[in-house]
Structure 1
Amino acid sequence: MIPIPIRKHFLPIILSTCFVLLLALQSCKKKHSVIADEMFRVTKNEIFKKADTADYIPVFNKVFANYRKKIANPLVIESFFKKNGYEPILVVNHLNNGDLDALPEYISRINEHGLDPSSYPTEEIKTLVAKLKDKAAIKTIEEGYETLAKLEILTAGAFVKYSNALQYGVMNPKKLYSRYFMATRRPDSVGMLATLSTANFKTYLDSIQPKNPQYLAIQKAYRDSVTLNGLSREESKRYLLVALERLRWRNKPYEPKYVIVNIPDYRLDVMEDGKSVLNMKVCVGQGRNMENQNTLAHFEDTARVDKPYPRETPLLNSIIHSVEVNPVWNIPRSIATKEIIVEAANDRYYLANKNIDVFKDGKRIADPETIDWLQVTPDNLEYEFKQRPGEENSLGKIKFLFKNRSSVYLHDTPNKLAFRHAMRAVSHGCVRVGDPLGLAKNLFGEGADLDTIANDMVINKPEPTNIGLPKKTPIYITYVTCWADENGAIQYRQDVYGLDIVLYAHMENIVAK
């Protein structure tokens, strides 16, 4: 073959290209040597001197495909390794500082939180760690790649799962309950990726242990197998397990002052700087389990599905922004169809005696006694009903307003007898307060507004008075059946809405055995 002469103007291009290729080859060689250098440094196993990231990645992907369904949050785990070029950074950074030994130890004690450690691959993690620390255990680089990949993936999955469980709970209440409207933080990819990038596992694991005094008190009762008065040991254990899970949810008040209603305790507290400065009895909406026919000791599989009674008070958080003194009650259609038209059919003067006005197409009907209420049914009801202010008004003399999708509020009531009963799930969904003027005094403080409220609650004004709060106050309507009182004694209340049963039914297979 006759050699083709190289023209002079091509020579710089060829030399430049060769230089770039040489740099690229050196760069690749350097990149591929990182895994070898680091793995040999941490394991002292000669076999890892042969390691090459390009050869490791396919093994990692194969192992990950096998483990994808066995680990929590696989998309986040995968993105973490992809972001780091699939380098075995968890092993490199944590094998020799005790972190990979500490993680299984913490997980093995998760039963102290009422959760089952067997749902974590702790034994497999310990075996893989021991194998990597044994300089003679891994004989081939292929075996080394598989051991690395398994340990990286299982460690990442277990670390994130444990972290999420302790900081956010194992269940998402928004997915469990159909009437749950509380702002609740849940783990996100940003937080989980930050967790995996933690410099020191043990320090982090210590930092996320629950420190809330309520949590520690319930946890101690659980550890000590405390039996609650009137319950079996097994049902007591389940009450405590459910209480621990609820305490892990990120839905707690954080403001220095707030109003909180606990449905099962039928109680309202005004909290300031962590202390109750005012408390009173309340009546809440009727529930599905008022007769305690279903308990944590015995329930059907269908308990996994939340089927609320129509009158149950929703769980929510909002802001009390104003009050209405001598309020008008806009009667909900559900009450109108089941009660108002029935009473009107039985007694033609019922509406007048109860100060209830009837409207059609927005216009008030002057003489509703002329309507044949026997012919009015829920299907053909074309009327609306409003109860005027007065002694008979079902909202009493004042209501406290806050935005919510369920149209509920706190209010006074003319029916004071209900507060004498222990079981006070008697309303249509709103919360009746036992001391409405006391609550107003706390929220408004002394002054002209409070004077107006107190005066208007005594006289029968025909029109409502609306007054905005000088400082809007957060409100939380929550559901807690088990807690430690100020003396440290464990209290519990009947699961009047069956929400404990729904929660435990979902947790039954992941709680400590």
Structure 2
Amino acid sequence: MSVERTGFWVELVAGAGLGLIISGDAVAQSLPATVVTSPPLSAQFWQGVAAREAMAARFANNPEVFAFYAARDFAPIWTGEGPEFELRRAALLAALEASGDHGLPRATYDIAGLRAGFATGADIATELRAALTYLEYAQDISAGVLEPATLAEDIYKTTPRQSSEALLSGFASADNPMIYLSNLTPQHPQYARLQRAMFDLARVVEAGGWGAPVVAERLELGDQGPTVAALITRLQAMGYLAEEPSSASVTLLTANDAQTATEAPASARFDDRLFGAVIRFQADNGLTQDGIVGANTLVAINVDAETRLKDVILAMERQRWMNFDRGERHVLVNIPDFHATVVDQDVVTFSTRSVVGHPDPRRHTPEFSDVMEYLVINPSWTVPRSITTREYLPQLQEDPTAQSQLELWSGGQVVDRAQVDFTQYTASTFPYTLRQAPSTSNALGLVKFMFPNPWNIYLHDTPAKSLFARETRAYSHGCVRLQDPFDFAYHLLAPQEDDPEAYFARILATGRETTVRLETPIPVHLVYWTSFVDPDGRLQHRADIYGRNADLWQELEAAGVSVAAISS
């Protein structure tokens, strides 16, 4: 071990939590004789030791960094001499400079300080600053700035964070450090599409936005006047009244253009062309496509461009939380989109409307990933205890014959309701289970799809078909109801059954509860994406039904994320 490397080790030991400022003499006394006789450390090598004590405390919380450098005999990655070190420094600085274009907290990386440190030459403080800055950036870009499980009680996501040792080793051994850093970015096509949308929206914001909001109660085909003119202006600015409308490319509108457009004549008319533009806007916002600008459509139209830009940055953060192999075939349930899809090799091969958990926090559909293992045809329904005690027990105390479709069970036996005094029980002492036998009126319908999890969430059929016609479909107690459960079952069974429809029908006809195992279990991802790009490349927005976006953006801002950091 050289004297210079040994000095580096002393700095690392101090960084590991000793908090010591060790003089050159003390270092010499602690070294083997063969090292003591070597030339003393240069004064430059020890410059700023006192200033580096703060960094030492930070390093104490990351023993993996110490272990990584120890394993390589404390050889530097960034501060050495030679072309490989120059490439690493250039790659890191370039990635940090562009970090704002990923919605990352660019200002927190202290790029100027790191660049100045690199300019001074080999220096322990600069080496450690580069290592820690790189790790912060690498974790942010590959797994997200935030920890989603800390943001809401019903988000159960574990971000795909690599260890510090793996990130440092990967970078140090990379033949091309720029390619290595680029590959830390989520490779799923959804991420790149969202980034393009982010750039488009950043240009719109810089140009002054989409003009004044539309102030009206309701607008429809045949209306005319200033409010229709305002609607035309707004939709033109958004790109919905171009000759070939596309939400993937945004029409820019300058402040002067917006002023001129608002002075459109009072005779502006809601014609067929405007009707078509409204339909396209409604489709891109998950609204009922009736061409009528009612309350919900007006709210969506009047969302300003900067808010939409923030929504897309949030969407990119949510994609980083899922920077892992989602499965060659997987099920994706987007909660605010009210749809469940089957995705094969990144192509949607099946889609159905869904009903998800109610906005009441006790009834949210949680965010998590699991693996679907089987489906149950002709399922019985064992009522969750929370529903039993919160909703049904009060009804039974009022009328013991209430909810007559539900059987009372105890010890594996059906209990006669007439023999039970329900008024003597509370939510904590109620000793019975409520169960509904298989039937067409069963709350789970005729099939359920199981991915066993601690929250007892699954996908299922329902007899309440009318809810699927509604624009907003958040009515369940947390489980996900499917509009087309039979077709969904056929699609999942197709790889293992020659005639999945006939196979399913035979079991259904028995009326008996039957479990059918999937020969190849399928990953299931329940996500909360209020902004995403659809398979046709169109930017989509959905209502924030659980009110999460404002809190999430506040957390990102606190972490240093800013729309001002985006290159426009």
Please indicate, yes or no, whether the TM-score normalized by the shorter chain is above 0.5. Answer: yes
Residues 370, 102 of structure 1: alpha-carbon distance in 2 compared, 3 angstrom cutoff: closer
Task: Check whether the contact 2:377–2:508 (CA below 8 A) recurs between aligned residues.
Answer: yes
Asked if 1:501 is matched to 2:522, the reply is no
Asked if 1:67 is matched to 2:55, the reply is yes
Find 1:214's aligned residue among 190, 215, 218: 190
Asked if 1:468 is matched to 2:517, the reply is yes
For 2:472, what is the secondary structure of its paired residue?
A: coil
Find 1:311's aligned residue among 347, 350, 363: 363
Distance 1:485 1:504 in 2: 23
Describe the superposition over 1:240-282 as per-residue Cα deviations: whole angstroms up to 9, x where unpaired: 1111111112455432212111111111111112111110001
Find 1:286's aligned residue among 358, 363, 374: 358
Moved more, 120-129 or 208-217: 208-217
Task: Check whether the contact 1:263–1:479 (CA below 8 A) recurs between aligned residues.
Answer: yes
Distance 2:126 2:334 in 1: 45
Task: Check whether the contact 1:160–1:195 (CA below 8 A) recurs between aligned residues.
Answer: no
Describe the superposition over 1:59-86 as per-residue Cα deviations: whole angstroms up to 9, x where unpaired: 6875542224567964333444444444
Query: Residue 233 of structure 2 aligns with which residue?
Result: none
Query: Residue 291 of structure 1 aligns with which residue?
Result: none
Describe the superposition over 1:441-487 as per-residue Cα deviations: whole angstroms up to 9, x where unpaired: 1111254764353245467x2x4122222332222222211111223
Tell me the TM-score normalized by structure 2.
0.69
Query: Residue 328 of structure 1 aligns with which residue?
Result: 380
Asked if 1:237 is matched to 2:289, the reply is no
Find 2:331's aligned residue among 259, 274, 288: 259
Asked if 1:76 is matched to 2:64, the reply is yes
For 1:508, what is the secondary structure of its paired residue?
A: helix
In the alignment, structure 2 segments of 5+ residues that lack a partner are 1-31, 210-299
Residues 494, 507 of structure 1: alpha-carbon distance in 2 compared, 3 angstrom cutoff: same
For residues 159-198 of structure 1, what are the structure 2 equivalents within 5 Å? 159-182=134-157, 184-195=159-170, 197-198=172-173
Find 1:364's aligned residue among 404, 414, 430: 414
Cα shift at 1:376: 4.0
Cα shift at 1:310: 1.6
Distance 2:147 2:411 in 1: 43
Residues 87, 216 of structure 1: alpha-carbon distance in 2 compared, 3 angstrom cutoff: closer
Task: Check whether the contact 1:287–1:425 (CA below 8 A) recurs between aligned residues.
Answer: yes
For residues 421-460 of structure 1, what are the structure 2 equivalents within 5 Å? 421-445=470-494, 446-447=497-498, 450-457=501-508
| Residue identity matched to 1:190 | E
Asked if 1:482 is matched to 2:554, the reply is no
Asked if 1:118 is matched to 2:107, the reply is yes
Moved more, 436-445 or 79-88: 79-88
User: Which protein is bigger by CA-based radius of gyration?
Assistant: 1
| Residue identity matched to 2:195 | Q
For 1:395, what is the secondary structure of its paired residue?
A: coil
Task: Check whether the contact 2:65–2:164 (CA below 8 A) recurs between aligned residues.
Answer: no
Query: Residue 150 of structure 1 aligns with which residue?
Result: 125
Query: Residue 436 of structure 2 aligns with which residue?
Result: 387
Cα shift at 1:437: 0.7
Asked if 1:396 is matched to 2:445, the reply is yes
Q: Quick one: percent identity of the two aligned structures? A: 27
Moved more, 204-213 or 147-156: 204-213
Residues 106, 433 of structure 1: alpha-carbon distance in 2 compared, 3 angstrom cutoff: same
Cα shift at 1:429: 1.2
Query: Residue 378 of structure 1 aligns with which residue?
Result: 427
Q: Aligned Cα RMSD in Å?
A: 3.0
Residues 79, 470 of structure 1: alpha-carbon distance in 2 compared, 3 angstrom cutoff: closer
For 2:363, what is the secondary structure of its paired residue?
A: coil
Asked if 1:414 is matched to 2:463, the reply is yes
| Residue identity matched to 1:323 | L
Distance 1:455 1:129 in 2: 72
For 1:418, what is the secondary structure of its paired residue?
A: helix
Query: Residue 88 of structure 2 aligns with which residue?
Result: 99
Cα shift at 1:431: 0.9
Query: Residue 250 of structure 2 aligns with which residue?
Result: none
Task: Check whether the contact 1:72–1:157 (CA below 8 A) recurs between aligned residues.
Answer: no
Asked if 1:127 is matched to 2:122, the reply is no
Residues 235, 362 of structure 1: alpha-carbon distance in 2 compared, 3 angstrom cutoff: same
Task: Check whether the contact 2:354–2:483 (CA below 8 A) recurs between aligned residues.
Answer: yes
Distance 2:314 2:427 in 1: 40
| Residue identity matched to 2:124 | A
Task: Check whether the contact 2:342–2:348 (CA below 8 A) recurs between aligned residues.
Answer: yes
Task: Check whether the contact 1:76–1:193 (CA below 8 A) recurs between aligned residues.
Answer: no
Cα shift at 1:424: 1.0
Residues 93, 415 of structure 1: alpha-carbon distance in 2 compared, 3 angstrom cutoff: farther
Distance 2:52 2:468 in 1: 60
| Residue identity matched to 2:189 | P
| Residue identity matched to 2:104 | L
Moved more, 483-492 or 419-428: 483-492
For residues 36-55 of structure 1, what are the structure 2 equivalents within 5 Å? 51=41
Task: Check whether the contact 2:490–2:501 (CA below 8 A) recurs between aligned residues.
Answer: yes
| Residue identity matched to 1:273 | Q
For 2:120, what is the secondary structure of its paired residue?
A: helix
Distance 1:323 1:506 in 2: 39
| Residue identity matched to 2:410 | K
Cα shift at 1:391: 2.5
For 1:390, what is the secondary structure of its paired residue?
A: coil
Cα shift at 1:328: 1.1
Distance 2:509 2:463 in 1: 13
Residues 182, 209 of structure 1: alpha-carbon distance in 2 compared, 3 angstrom cutoff: closer
Asked if 1:274 is matched to 2:346, the reply is yes
Q: How many residues are aligned here?
A: 431
